[in-house]
Amino acid sequence: MAQPRVLVIGGGLAGLSATMRLAELGASVDLVSLVPVKRSHSVCAQGGINSVNALTRQQGDNEWKHFDDTVYGGDFLQHQPPVKEMADWGPRIVDLMDRLGVPFNRTPEGFRDQRRFGGTLFKRTAFAGATTGQQLLYSLDEQVRRWEVDGKVKKWEFWDFLEPVLDDAGRCRGAICQDLVTMQFRAFPADAVIIATGGCGLLYGRSTMSMVCNGSAVSRAYRAGAWYGNGEFIQVHPTAIPGADKLRLMSESARGEGGRVWVPKTPHDPRDPRDIPEVERSYFLEERYPKYGNLVPRDIATREIFDICTTEGLSVEKDRLCVYLDLTHVPRETLDRKLGGILEIYEKFQGVDPRVVPMKIFPAVHYSMGGLWVDYEKSSTGGLVEGSPRNQQTNIPGLYAIGECDYQYHGANRLGANSLLSCIFSGLFCAPGVIAGVDAGGKKAADESSRLFESGLRREEERHQALLARTAGDENPYDLHQQLGNLMTRVATVVRRNEQLVAAYAEVCSLEERWRRCAVSDSGNWTNQNVVFTKSLGDMFPLAKLVLKGALQRDECRGAHYKPDFAMPGLHATDPVEKRREAEQWCDRFEANTRRWLKSTVAKCGVGGEPEISYEDVDTSLMPPRPRLYGLVGGEMIEEVWKERQKLAGVSGDGQEKQPAYAGSAS
């Protein structure tokens, strides 16, 4: 029987791991990427990759606790079986990458070194200095090259995915792509198509993501009928280096290696930070969350930093919002060995040595928890059925999504260092199912009529020519993009308000209208980046709309989605009886909110590109939702009341206590 032919769009960690595994299983793979795969955004990942390991096991850790931390970190918005499967695979994945040659940092005894990341109390993060993504990506790239030499993989770098090709029954049969050098179009018949095209940070103009993270491929799949899940959940990372051109990440690993966040107690204290005595500093994260300290999850750290600067007026600078991130107490040798890569970035762009002077940082858009909706098949032990064609398949048969561009693993807030794991996991895990799906789908791509591909090619060529012909328009695409980015950053990041979201939606519609009048200054047909950018800008509007509409409709606070109008205030009473009453009320409200809002947003592209929103129940069969307090000072009474309620209901409310026999399957 002919081996299946699979088209993988995207050569980051997700796309490369899927390609490697598919080739191992005998499939032929076409690998399409906007940029050389080694320049995919994954190369920027800094801090590390999570998995339970020998060190944490000695401290009582196991896969179930990794699963628990991930689900608790995501505010219970993710279906639990895929998360459990991913946590179970963690140790195997890190071992695999080690064997493939990733130069993970080592302890003097030769074991993999580990650091702590946000939202956990265990040191689960393996790292290669502060360039972990690069080392992982290069190792997978080597493997893919091996299959390229064997003829199983063909790479198409500098190619743009334009649309999936669907047959009359709605099954994906391939895609239309464009060569970004010659600008020629080409049809790629395939038995299955996997989208692995990463995040959509460019919607926000400036973010920590690479400039290639424009969401175009996902938007095109969405417009072709693929559903989009949890679009409103955008992660704003607490610690980034503000910049006029771009926001650069200061990885969580800085806090994982002991970095402390603080502000002077005197607003805009003009002194050199090194001259400000300890008693005149507020280490506000450590004070409010003594259990997790500087490593509370990102949504919480971001809100606290934002709040201390805006509401409390304690920004370090008067004219610019920022707080100190201080590493100056950590020995220089440790900093160079473990964080060299990121400290160099700070030094290069700020002209200050962070080993000597505390850094100035502020939150920045960083990651999209939402993405293409994908399916899974649950196993009898609570994880996933390996080899099921449903795993990672979108609602379009034969079209899959993996990595940052799917919505599956991180719920309302991603924990640091869990993304590299989810990318590699989803890539490796989906491959056998993709092949099984081809067999189940009957016809092979080679049997498919050329009619489908010809009409796709014609459509894309016409669209392209129409854009090229727009030399007389009065709008500048780069200017429109800046306006879109500023708007999205203002209304759909840390704090969201309904009236602003309504106005922003109308403004996005108007920007989209204006986009139709964009002039393309380069009308040539050779490496025309102008037309490619204009096209991708057009694709940002449907995504921006689904982010805004999803955020508008979700009247609650969950993970990264925070609306002050629906926030649940802490307890104020000092009298114990009154405090207890407040805690009871708080828990009542939490339960009511869970019933109302613990569901995923699913956006479908409706008439005229307007998002039609519906909701999907979340599978919480393994771990019941619980208040997400992270040991907040003042939240003890809520914890107490909640635990009593769970006990009365006969539920183990705290996953840490519940470790079923099937947990920890990886060895």
Ligand X SMILES: Cc1cc2nc3c(=O)[nH]c(=O)nc-3n(C[C@H](O)[C@H](O)[C@H](O)COP(=O)(O)OP(=O)(O)OC[C@H]3O[C@@H](n4cnc5c(N)ncnc54)[C@H](O)[C@@H]3O)c2cc1C
The interface with ligand X within residues 132-151 (CB under 6 A) comprises 132-133
Per CB under 6 A, the segment of 44-52, 228-236, 610-618, 622-630 that binds ligand X is: 44-52
Least distance (Å) from ligand X to the CB of residue 74? 14
User: Is residue 35 a contact residue for ligand X (CB under 6 A)?
Assistant: yes
Q: Is there binding between residue 217 and ligand X (CB under 6 A)?
A: yes
Residue with tokens 């519906």: 614
Nearer to ligand X, 427 or 441 (CB): 427
In angstroms, give the least distance from the CB of 204 to ligand X.
12
Question: In terms of CB distance, is 204 or 515 closer to ligand X?
Answer: 204
Instruction: State which of positions 184-213 bind ligand X (CB under 6 A).
Output: 196-198, 208-209, 212-213
* Residue from 343, 59, 370, 324 nearest 228 by CA: 370
Least gap, CB of 165 to ligand X (angstroms): 15
* Nearest residue (beta carbon) to ligand X: 12
- Contact (Cβ atoms closer than 8 angstroms) between residue 346 and residue 354: yes
Buried b (16+ CB within 10 A) or exposed e, 30-65: bbbbbbebbbbbbbbbbbbbbbbbebbeeeebbbbb
CB of residue 195 to ligand X, shortest distance in Å:
8
Binding mask 234-253 for ligand X (x = CB under 6 A): ---------------x-x--
Closest distance between ligand X and the C-beta of residue 604, in Å? 21
Q: Which of 72, 76, 122, 161 is in the footprint of ligand X by CB under 6 A?
A: 161
Tell me how far, at minimum, the Cβ of 286 lies from ligand X, in Å.
23
- Report the residue from 61, 160, 191, 460 that binds ligand X according to the rule CB under 6 A: 160
Cα distances (Å, whole numbers) of residue 303 to 297, 309, 519, 556? 10, 10, 40, 15
Q: Describe the crossing of helices 498-515 and 529-553 by its angle, rounded to 10 degrees.
A: 160
Both tokens of residue 656?
A: 């840490």
Nearer to ligand X, 15 or 370 (CB): 15
# chain residues binding ligand X, by CB under 6 A: 47
Among 7, 18, 44, 77, binds ligand X (CB under 6 A): 44
- CA-nearest of 242, 397, 250 to 309 is 242
User: Between residues 159 and 590, which has the closer beta carbon with respect to ligand X?
Assistant: 159
Interface with ligand X (CB under 6 A), residue from 417, 445, 587, 613: 417
By CB under 6 A, name the one of 5, 6, 8, 12 that touches ligand X: 12
Determine phi and psi for 603, rounding to 5 degrees.
-105, 135
Q: 3-state SS of 353-407?
A: CCCCCCEEEEEEEEEECCEECCCCCECCCCCECCCCCCCCECCCCCEEECHHHEC
Residue 298 annotated among the catalytic residues of the structure: yes
Encoded amino acid at 517, one letter: R
Residue 433 CB, shortest distance to ligand X, in Å, is 18
CB-nearer residue toward ligand X: 128 or 308? 128
The reply on whether position 423 binds ligand X by CB under 6 A is yes
Please work out, in degrees rounded to the nearest 5, the angle formed at the alpha carbon of residue 582 by the alpha carbons of 581 and 584. 65
Burial 240-254 (b: 16+ CB within 10 A, else e): bbbeeebbbbbbbbb
For residue 366, the minimal CB distance to ligand X (Å) is 6
Q: Which of residues 310-339 bind ligand X (CB under 6 A)?
A: none
Minimum Å gap between C-beta 137 and ligand X is 7
Least Å distance, CB 14 to ligand X, is: 4
Q: How many CB atoms lie within 10 A of CB 311?
A: 8
- Kindly tell me which of 155 and 444 has the beta carbon lying closer to ligand X: 155
Q: How far is residue 516's CA from residue 203's CA, in Å, rounded to a whole number?
A: 18
Catalytic hit among 112, 124, 298, 414: 298
Site string for ligand X, 347-376 (x = CB under 6 A): -------------------xx---------
For residue 652, give Cα distances in angstroms to 643, 646, 665: 8, 6, 21
| Residue 13 contacts ligand X per CB under 6 A | yes
- Residues 84-143 touching ligand X, rule: CB under 6 A, are 132-133
Please tell me whether residue 418 binds ligand X under the rule CB under 6 A. Answer: yes
Phi, psi of 75 (to 5 degrees): 55, 35
Distances from the Cα of 351 to the Cα of 205, 259, 275, 359, angstroms: 24, 19, 20, 11
654 DSSP assignment: -
Stretch that binds ligand X, among 163-171, 411-419, 523-531, 563-571 (CB under 6 A): 411-419
Residue 363 in tokens: 């939150």
Q: Does 32 bind ligand X (CB under 6 A)?
A: yes
SS3 for 562-607 is CCHHHCCCCCCCCCHHHHHHHHHHHHHHHHHHHHHHCEEEEEEECH
Helix (H) or strand (E) holding 256: helix 253-256
Q: In the set 19, 28, 40, 328, which binds ligand X (CB under 6 A)?
A: 40
Residue whose CB is less far from ligand X, 164 or 635: 164
With vertex at residue 351, the alpha carbon angle to CA 350 and CA 353, rounded to the nearest 5 degrees, is 100
Contact set with ligand X (CB under 6 A)? 9-15, 32-35, 37, 40-42, 44-49, 132-133, 159-161, 196-198, 208-209, 212-213, 216-217, 249, 251, 366-367, 403-405, 417-420, 423
**Residues with catalytic annotation?**
298
